Chains A and B, each alone.
Chain A
Amino acid sequence: MLPAFFAVFAASVFAQNPSAEFFEKEIRPVLADKCYGCHSSKLKSPMGGLVLDTKAGLKLGGNGGPILAADAKSSRLLKALSYNETDLRMPPAGKLPDEKIAAFEKWIAAGAPDPREDAPAGAPVSAAKKGMDIETGRKWWAFQPVNQLPQPKVRNAVFAKQWTKEKIDWFILAKLEQNKLKPSPAADRAMLIERASLDLTGLRPTYEDVQAFVADKAPDAYEKLIDRLLASPRYGERWGRYWLDVARYGEDNPTSEATNPPYPFAWRYRDWVIDAVNKDVPYDKFVKLQLAADQIPGTPRDDYRALGYLGAAPIYHTDLRLSRDVIETLYTDGWDERVDAVGRGLMGLTVGCARCHDHKFDPILSKDYYALAGVFASTVSAPRPLAEVDKETDQKFMLAAQQLFYLSYLANLMNNEPGSKPEQAAEQVIKFTKKMEEVRDSMAFLKDSHPEMWTYLNNLAKLPQPKKPMPDPAVAKVTLTAPAAPMPRPPAAQRRGRGGASDLPFMQSVFDAGVWIDGSDPDLTAVDVRPGQPRDMNLLPHANVSAPGPVVPRQFLSVLSKGDTTFKNGSGRLDLAERIFSDGAPLTARVIVNRVWSWHFGKPLVATPSDFGVQGEKPTHPELLDDLSARFIAHGWSLKWLHREIMLSATYRQTSHPRADGVAADPTNNFLWRMNPRRLDVEAYRDSLLEVSGTLDPKAAPLSLDLDAADNHSRTVYGRVSRGRLNTVLSLYDFPDPMMSAPARTMTTSPLQQLFAMNSGFMKDRATELVKLVDSDPDNTGKVRDMYHRALDRDPSPKELDLALSYLEKGSLTEYAQALLATNEVIFWP
Chain B
Amino acid sequence: MIKRNFSRRELIASLTGGMGSVALAGMFADEALAAAAATTAPAAPKFPNFPPKAKSNIVLFMRGGPSQLDMFDPKPALLKYQGQRPSSVDLRTERTTGGLLPSPFEFKQYGRGGVHVSSLLPNIASVIDDICVIKSTYTFNPTHTPGCSLFHTGNIAATRPSMGSWISYGLGSVNKNLPGFVVLNPVPQGDLGLSRSGFLPAKHQGTHFDDSVVEPDKMIKYLQNKDLDREKQRRQLDLIQSLNQEHERSFGQDEFLDGRIQSMETAYAMQFEAMDVFDIRKESQATREMYGDTHFAHGCLMARRLVERGVRTVHVFYGPGQPWDDHSKIEKNLKERCPDMDKACAALIKDLKQRGLLDECLVTWGGEFGRTPVSESGDGRDHNPYGFTTWMAGGGVKGGMSYGETDEFGFKAVEKSVSVHDLHATMLNQLGIDHLKLTYRYAGRDFRLTDVYGEVVRDILA
Q: Does A819 contact B (CB under 8 A)?
A: yes
Q: Which residue of A lies closest to B417 (CB)?
A: A94
Q: Which residue of B lies closest to A352 (CB)?
A: B443
Q: Which of A89, A471, A615, A726 contacts B417 (CB 8 A)?
A: A89
Q: Does A451 contact B (CB under 8 A)?
A: no
8 Å CB interface, B116-172 against A: 138, 140-143, 145-146, 156-159
Question: Are the CB atoms of B251 and A751 closer together than 8 Å?
Answer: no
How many Å from the CB of B194 to the closest CB on chain A? 10
Question: Are the CB atoms of B443 and A755 closer together than 8 Å?
Answer: no
- Residues of chain A within 8 A (CB-CB) of B143 are 317, 319, 322, 326
In the complex, A734 Cα to B237 Cα: how many Å? 24
In the complex, A734 Cα to B200 Cα: how many Å? 12
- Residues of chain A within 8 A (CB-CB) of B242 are 803
Question: Are the CB atoms of B251 and A752 closer together than 8 Å?
Answer: no
In the complex, A611 Cα to B267 Cα: how many Å? 36
8 Å CB interface, A320-355 against B: 321-323, 326, 329-330, 333, 340, 344, 350, 352-353
Q: Which of A92, A255, A740, A753 contacts B453 (CB 8 A)?
A: A92
- Residues of chain B within 8 A (CB-CB) of A319 are 94, 143
Q: Does A764 contact B (CB under 8 A)?
A: yes
Q: Which of A255, A658, A746 contacts B252 (CB 8 A)?
A: A658
Q: Which of B196, B235, B264, B377 contacts A484 (CB 8 A)?
A: B377
Contacts A477-B375, A677-B254, A731-B205; is A819 near B243 (CB within 8 Å)?
yes
Contact with A along B236-266 (1 / 0, CB 8 A): 1101101110111011111011011101101
In the complex, A484 Cα to B82 Cα: how many Å? 18
Give the A-B contact count at a CB cut-off of 8 A. Answer: 275
Question: Are the CB atoms of A316 and B145 closer together than 8 Å?
Answer: yes
Q: Does A158 contact B (CB under 8 A)?
A: no
In the complex, A333 Cα to B243 Cα: how many Å? 51
Contacts A94-B416, A360-B445, A819-B240; is A420 near B98 (CB within 8 Å)?
yes
Question: Are the CB atoms of A86 and B256 closer together than 8 Å?
Answer: no
How many Å from the CB of B18 to the closest CB on chain A? 12
In the complex, A799 Cα to B414 Cα: how many Å? 76
The 3 closest A-B CB pairs, nearest first, are A476-B378, A350-B444, A419-B96
Interface pairs (9), CB distance under 8 Å: A47-B452, A255-B158, A362-B444, A471-B378, A478-B82, A615-B445, A747-B256, A750-B203, A759-B225
8 Å CB interface, B172-192 against A: 177, 179, 189-192
Q: Does A810 contact B (CB under 8 A)?
A: yes
Q: Does A613 contact B (CB under 8 A)?
A: yes
Contacts A316-B145, A759-B222; is A615 near B444 (CB within 8 Å)?
yes
Contacts A322-B142, A758-B225; is A678 near B104 (CB within 8 Å)?
no
In the complex, A128 Cα to B323 Cα: how many Å? 45
Q: Which of A95, A353, A479 contacts B378 (CB 8 A)?
A: A479
Q: Does B24 contact A (CB under 8 A)?
A: no
Q: Does A257 contact B (CB under 8 A)?
A: yes
How many Å from the CB of B75 to the closest CB on chain A? 15
Q: Does A208 contact B (CB under 8 A)?
A: no
Contacts A746-B201, A752-B207, A752-B267; is A811 near B444 (CB within 8 Å)?
no
In the complex, A818 Cα to B167 Cα: how many Å? 37
How many Å from the CB of B86 to the closest CB on chain A? 13
Q: Does A87 contact B (CB under 8 A)?
A: yes
Of A319, A471, A679, most buried by chain B (CB within 10 Å of CB) is A319
Q: Does A487 contact B (CB under 8 A)?
A: yes
Q: Does B437 contact A (CB under 8 A)?
A: no
Q: Does B331 contact A (CB under 8 A)?
A: yes
Q: Which residue of B lies closest to A740 (CB)?
A: B159
Contacts A677-B254, A755-B271; is A825 near B247 (CB within 8 Å)?
yes
Q: Does B111 contact A (CB under 8 A)?
A: no
In the complex, A659 Cα to B4 Cα: how many Å? 25
- Residues of chain A within 8 A (CB-CB) of B386 are 86
Question: Are the CB atoms of B96 and A523 closer together than 8 Å?
Answer: yes
Contacts A760-B222, A810-B235, A828-B257; is A823 near B240 (CB within 8 Å)?
yes
Q: Does B52 contact A (CB under 8 A)?
A: no
How many Å from the CB of A199 to the closest CB on chain B? 17
Q: Which of B39, B192, B248 contacts A725 (CB 8 A)?
A: B192
Q: Which residue of B lies closest to A725 (CB)?
A: B189
8 Å CB interface, B21-79 against A: 32, 35, 39-40
Contacts A316-B158, A419-B377, A815-B236; is A756 near B222 (CB within 8 Å)?
yes
- Residues of chain B within 8 A (CB-CB) of A823 are 240, 243-244, 247
- Residues of chain A within 8 A (CB-CB) of B449 are none
Question: Are the CB atoms of B94 and A322 closer together than 8 Å?
Answer: yes
Where chain A touches its partner, the secondary structure class is loop
Q: Does A254 contact B (CB under 8 A)?
A: yes
Contact with B along A306-325 (1 / 0, CB 8 A): 00000000101101011100
Contact with B along A515-536 (1 / 0, CB 8 A): 0000000110000000000000
Known: A481-B104, A740-B199, A797-B246. 17 other contacts (CB 8 A): A83-B417, A316-B146, A333-B156, A420-B98, A477-B375, A479-B378, A484-B377, A611-B444, A677-B251, A728-B189, A737-B159, A752-B222, A758-B222, A807-B239, A815-B227, A819-B236, A823-B244
In the complex, A331 Cα to B271 Cα: how many Å? 46
Q: Does A800 contact B (CB under 8 A)?
A: yes
How many Å from the CB of B263 to the closest CB on chain A? 5
How many Å from the CB of A80 to the closest CB on chain B? 13
Q: Which residue of A lies closest to B225 (CB)?
A: A759
Question: Are the CB atoms of B94 and A321 closer together than 8 Å?
Answer: yes
Question: Are the CB atoms of B378 and A482 closer together than 8 Å?
Answer: yes
Q: Which of B239, B250, B331, B379 contacts A803 (CB 8 A)?
A: B239
Question: Are the CB atoms of A748 and B202 closer together than 8 Å?
Answer: yes
Q: Does B80 contact A (CB under 8 A)?
A: no
Question: Are the CB atoms of A803 and B267 closer together than 8 Å?
Answer: no
Q: Does A749 contact B (CB under 8 A)?
A: yes
Question: Are the CB atoms of B177 and A751 closer together than 8 Å?
Answer: yes
Q: Does A473 contact B (CB under 8 A)?
A: yes
Q: Which residue of B lies closest to A829 (CB)?
A: B256
Contact with B along A456-491 (1 / 0, CB 8 A): 000000000000000101011111111110010000
Of B251, B329, B441, most buried by chain A (CB within 10 Å of CB) is B251
Q: Does B3 contact A (CB under 8 A)?
A: no
Contact with A along B267-279 (1 / 0, CB 8 A): 1101100000000
Question: Are the CB atoms of B443 and A340 closer together than 8 Å?
Answer: yes
- Residues of chain B within 8 A (CB-CB) of A382 are none
Q: Which of B39, B251, B417 contacts A749 (CB 8 A)?
A: B39
Q: Which residue of A lies closest to B188 (CB)?
A: A725
Q: Which residue of B lies closest to A255 (CB)?
A: B145
- Residues of chain A within 8 A (CB-CB) of B261 are 824
Q: Does B310 contact A (CB under 8 A)?
A: no
Question: Are the CB atoms of A748 and B203 closer together than 8 Å?
Answer: yes
In the complex, A522 Cα to B91 Cα: how many Å? 11
Question: Are the CB atoms of A421 and B417 closer together than 8 Å?
Answer: no
Question: Are the CB atoms of A737 and B257 closer together than 8 Å?
Answer: no
How many Å from the CB of A796 to the closest CB on chain B? 9
- Residues of chain B within 8 A (CB-CB) of A728 are 189, 221
Q: Which residue of A lies closest to B386 (CB)?
A: A86
Question: Are the CB atoms of B443 and A353 closer together than 8 Å?
Answer: yes
In the complex, A672 Cα to B189 Cα: how many Å? 42
Q: Does A36 contact B (CB under 8 A)?
A: no
Q: Does A93 contact B (CB under 8 A)?
A: yes
In the complex, A737 Cα to B247 Cα: how many Å? 33
How many Å from the CB of A695 to the closest CB on chain B? 20
Contact with B along A397-433 (1 / 0, CB 8 A): 0000000000000000000010111001100000000
Q: Which residue of B lies closest to A93 (CB)?
A: B455
Question: Are the CB atoms of B257 and A734 closer together than 8 Å?
Answer: no
Q: Which of A420, A759, A764, A803 contacts B375 (CB 8 A)?
A: A420
Question: Are the CB atoms of B443 and A731 closer together than 8 Å?
Answer: no
In the complex, A473 Cα to B99 Cα: how many Å? 10
Question: Are the CB atoms of A477 and B378 closer together than 8 Å?
Answer: yes
In the complex, A523 Cα to B199 Cα: how many Å? 37
- Residues of chain B within 8 A (CB-CB) of A344 are 443
8 Å CB interface, B411-458 against A: 414-417, 419, 422, 441, 443-445, 452-455
